[in-house]
Structure 1
């Protein structure tokens, strides 16, 4: 468990990106709603726990929403905006189309929070807290979510297409993509550990299981019936072969055994600079849990809208 004092020590310990992260922490706080909506966090948790209990995959989906939101112009709930006749949002961008999900759960949370504290809790904060609660529900670490983000009044279709890491990227591209957001290669490996839960569609790993050699042959063979060489693009397989409903370090064990589902996953353990970190996490679950919590706090502080910037949407799918 990561306590507040350690979180501040962690974040301010970084000498780079102080403007991005240090100032953000000066405006966000863990007790932001203590007086304005004291039941906000428990209300969010109750909805998330119920949704994840009903469908374990939803935990991974809510966590992914937070990633895909923060990697495009910061953690501002831009990913939640629906397209309109005059506006193209991020939902139809390649990384999100027919893939990003959990929007209905966010809607349910927003309605519940609006019932007790109208116009107070932002959609961006809901997404951040829902991600944390999803991880906790699936057995992962808890972290103190920094709060006080406001919601964007715009989104970036092009930003979603260019800013979110692809499952087809090689290691150098992955390191660069995360570095652009202020993350080290180690933190990139840590955050990739989110793939210890959830599933991926056949279209995102077909080329790996049929064409790549750094894959366990029996593992590849087991995936082919559900992901034929042609067709079945939307068929799902677990990112973590054995415990996809539990937040643990099995993902890293899979990589060491050449059982990474996505090309981008196996790139983390493929004779490159991140092999040692994957190995360390594969045998050190406590270190992974602690580092993941810290990295999520850092990610949640990516360019938040605060103060008078943005708004508090009454409906997460559209601007006020």
Structure 2
């Protein structure tokens, strides 16, 4: 998705934790073109968790026939976007010529590097009927050595993502290595991304990572005596043996990895250098980015506010 304003950091409610649980971020819900988005990263209190610099929970949104997602072409630099759907479908197009339907369980990985443009819309077959969209969209900051890499696009169908059962809990290792398995999804630094679906009373031990956090996409968890409520992102210290328990049916995402250092972020642009952001802004205003084949007549202008 594209940001609607130049500034990206969101105000969130932050609750201090204790022990391994450092803090809990509760994002404010924001309406964005007919559906709600909860943005956990970046916030004023926390920019990144490992290499993850952007975390949006979109929906669930129910659209009547004739309405739906319609994100016009917009640019990125310095990141890799990661799209994962629980329900619904998105049609991805980009300036490399990629045309890909994203369905539940798939992983869509687009590495912007020195610059890419993409759009997110829906096929007429989807848009013409009542439908629902629900999912997560994340950005990975690229290591400095990869910030100016040639852009890439990778799509991994759901069947390619490792799935296993740990103590009765179904788990998918979306990126990185956890619970003894490794995902085939490309990474650029040490990266962790895991999904789990717990029934009430079930427990899960967090995989280890230099930095890590748990997002509750649905349900409610506890970590020792601390509650982690629905739609919150809980940050954990690098401490082994951290156990979470679901107090009701819960769907969670675990993210983390190695810290990459602070990044500058303006609108859809991320870089370790502020002057590179300024260059990208001017390049977009001047029409210097490549166009998206099959989606060439519209674009999102840079927001001046």
**TM-score, length basis structure 2:** 0.31
**Which protein has greater RCO, CA pairs closer than 8 Å, 6+ apart?**
1
